[in-house]
Amino acid sequence: MARFMRAASRARRFCLCAALCASVLSCGGGDSGLSPSGSSGSSGSSGSSPPTGANVVGVVVDAGPTSTSPDINTLFTTVTVCVPGSTTNCQTIDHIQVDTMSYGLRILAPVLTISLPVQPASNGSSLVECTAFADGYSWGPVALADVQVSGETASSVPVQVIGDPNFTSVPADCSGVGQAEDTVAAFGANGILGVGVFAQDCGSGCVSVVDNQVYYSCTSGSVQCQPTAVRSLAGEVANPISYFTADNNGVIIQLPSVAAAGAATVSGYMIFGIDTETNNKSGSQSVLTVSSSGSDAGDFTTVFNGQNLTTSFLDTGSNGFFFNDTDITQCTDSGFTDFYCPASTQSFTATLQGDNGVSVSESFSVGNTESIAQDDAAFGSLAGTFPGPGSSTTFDWGLPFYFGRTVYTAIQGSVTSVGTGPYVAF
Amino acid sequence: MPTTRLIANTKKYWLTCGVLALALSPCIAEAGLGQPESAVQADALQFKGSIKATEHAGYRVQEIQLPSGTLVREFVGADGIVFAVAWNGPTVPNLRQTLGQYFDKFVAAAQAKHGDHHHLQIQQSDLVVQAAGHMRAFSGRAYLPQAVPAGVSIGDLR
């Protein structure tokens, strides 16, 4: 994505990278650089007074931590990780991607300056994880960390350290997923914070099945890692929100609207908890429950062009709207053939329908991908095709859906005043 | 390696096949896309998976169920060659196994792309890979465009 943007603005990005790298390498619990009051460069307004409180952290859409970052429509925040129990052995890390369709905190080892304790597998050797994404894999050990986001603290959370040089032997079943994404450049962020509807990344399958393709036990110094079942759900890499002492039932993401032409940066908020504080009350939003298990875990139904797309999802980790409509002109530039390029922006309507039957009709726009300005990090009408067999059942509502909205995500089994998770509401 | 057509998931058969396959380990390396149907057996063995075959007009599907719950389907043309593979489930299967000789080309093409983590499309004259999904739910397909039998829709490769 956005290769033309990178090539044209390499010098500017390099300066940005240098500045960010310096900030990444600074250690300790100092200013996160993303406190809500410190946010700047917002392209718009959410239309109400900004949320404040210990459960609020700033989020930003910008050019990312490196010149090879995905560049467009990627949402970042800042987290502080500490060695469990320590208040001084801590590190604040910016440009952690916020992803509502994954679960758990993962940090790229090259930016990590503190040493987090690696967790044992059930046989006593080290527990190491293979995290698959659709475009590659991230390999590294499971470690414990105290995770601080704004004023919230989660103690002794299992997190993944991606690309740890102590665990370089990648099992064939993991490297076989595709390209390695174990550097900041390859990953496009300093880490990823999965804050979706589940409390663990894998779930019960990794407790009951040895050959789960996710967890491995590795002996230090050995070239061999063996598939392993995790002792219990609590051993899996976890959504840190579920470890907060309060405000632990979900998250609200609030982003301003973005001008049609796009924006260089967009600043918004992530508010922890739903109906737990005065600043995170449920309103009159529609609550759509999502599937809690199976091959559609986390998904709901979208009705579009007369099709029932039963594995649809809201995803801050997708940088556009991804769905198939052969009537929309696709781009011809070799870097963008997966994206849409109508001559002028087109508007569409689709219906989002929860498993609970609640449905909402929403309109969205599809713009010309090749028209995106070089310095834009946010573009509200970016859209492309959804690849592969899932295309016949999926409408992927990526980050542009969140622009100009407040979107609630409730964790499975968590109770709020308007329902029990897993649900999304907006 | 036995060359008989597979009909059902017979444990004893696979045990025998497993011993043979281990003895003839080079067979495993030859598995996947572009290889003869017999390579599917090596894939199933490598995946510790069970297998079943279904017949379609112009092709046969060999479906392997992985312990993780992910399904891998290998599409075999009338010429006995695997022309496509598709997968869906909670994990991404070992594509080095299912793409075989095309895997390195796939990885090189993926490295040249910089999209988000939830979509990947590789479109080359001799190899197409389309992968997508999110944690706990992935799907994808890979096929050799020139080897897809006439009359077979790409949408059927699922």
Domain contains B6: no
Its ipTM equals: 0.88
A100-143 per-position pLDDT tens digit: 999 999 999 999 999 999 999 998 899 999 999 999 999 999 99
| Tokens standing for residue A422 | 């897993």
A 15-44 residues with CB < 8 A to B:
none
What are the domain boundaries of chain A?
Answer: 3-243, 280-425
**How high is the pLDDT of residue A70?**
57
Q: What is the SS3 assignment for A157?
A: strand
Residues 6+ apart with CB under 8 A from A201: A102, A103, A104, A129, A131, A194, A214, A236, A237, A238, A239, B135
A214-257 per-position pLDDT tens digit: 999 998 665 689 999 999 999 999 999 999 999 999 999 999 99
Domain contains B5: no
What's the sign of the alpha-carbon dihedral B53, B54, B55, B58? negative
Distance between CA atoms of residues A152 and A57, nearest Å? 9
**How high is the pLDDT of residue B39?**
83
Identify which of A74, A136, A173 has the shortest CB distance to residue B94. A173
pTM of the model: 0.87
Say whether pLDDT at A187 is over 80: yes
pLDDT band at B40 (very low <50, low <70, confident <90, very high): confident
E strand intervals along A329-375: 346-353, 359-366
State the pairing for strand pair A396-397/A307-314.
Answer: parallel
CA dihedral angle for residue A303, residue A304, residue A309, residue A312, rounded to 10 degrees: -90
CB contact under 8 A, B131 and A384: no
Share of chain A above pLDDT 70, in %: 87
Q: Is A156 exposed, middle or buried (0-12, 13-18, 19+ CB in 10 A)?
A: middle
**How high is the pLDDT of residue A222?**
59
CA A106 to chain centroid, in Å, comes to 10
A373-392 per-position pLDDT tens digit: 888 999 999 999 999 999 99
Domain contains B2: no
A340-370 per-position pLDDT tens digit: 999 999 999 999 999 999 999 999 999 999 9
Q: Which range is least confidently modeled, A80-94, A213-227, A313-327, B144-158?
A: A213-227
pLDDT band at B49 (very low <50, low <70, confident <90, very high): confident
**How high is the pLDDT of residue A6?**
33
Domain contains B4: no
Q: Is B139 exposed, middle or buried (0-12, 13-18, 19+ CB in 10 A)?
A: buried
Residues 6+ apart with CB under 8 A from B108: none
CB contact under 8 A, B88 and A295: yes
| Chain B closest-CA separation from residue A192 CA (Å) | 11
C-alpha distances (whole Å) from A177 to each of A137, A220, A302, B98 are 6, 23, 29, 10
| Tokens standing for residue A114 | 């503190």
| Tokens standing for residue A8 | 């044209």
A274-288 per-position pLDDT tens digit: 999 999 999 999 999
Domain contains B158: no
DSSP state, residue B24: T
What CATH code would you report for A280-425?
2.40.70
Q: How many domains does the structure of chain B reveal?
A: 1
Domain contains B156: no
**What is the rounded average pLDDT of the residues B29-53?**
83
A 185-244 residues with CB < 8 A to B:
186, 188, 192, 194, 196, 198, 201-203, 205, 209-214
**How high is the pLDDT of residue A221?**
62
Contact A201, A131 (CB under 8 A): yes
CB contact under 8 A, B114 and A311: no
| Amino acid letter for position B122 | I
B101-129 per-position pLDDT tens digit: 999 999 999 998 878 999 999 999 999 99
C-alpha distances (whole Å) from A5 to each of A16, A70, A83, A370, A422 are 14, 10, 38, 10, 37
**How high is the pLDDT of residue A23?**
34
| Number of other CB atoms surrounding residue B11 within 10 Å | 8
3-state DSSP helix/strand/coil % of chain B, to nearest 5: 30, 30, 35
Share of chain A above pLDDT 90, in %: 83
Say whether pLDDT at A170 is over 50: yes
B76-98 per-position pLDDT tens digit: 999 999 999 999 999 999 999 99
Mean pLDDT score of chain B? 83
Q: Which range is least confidently modeled, A282-291, B41-50, B126-135, B146-155?
A: B41-50
**Residue whose token pair is 């492309």:** A384
Say whether pLDDT at B65 is over 60: yes
Range of the domain at B18: 11-151
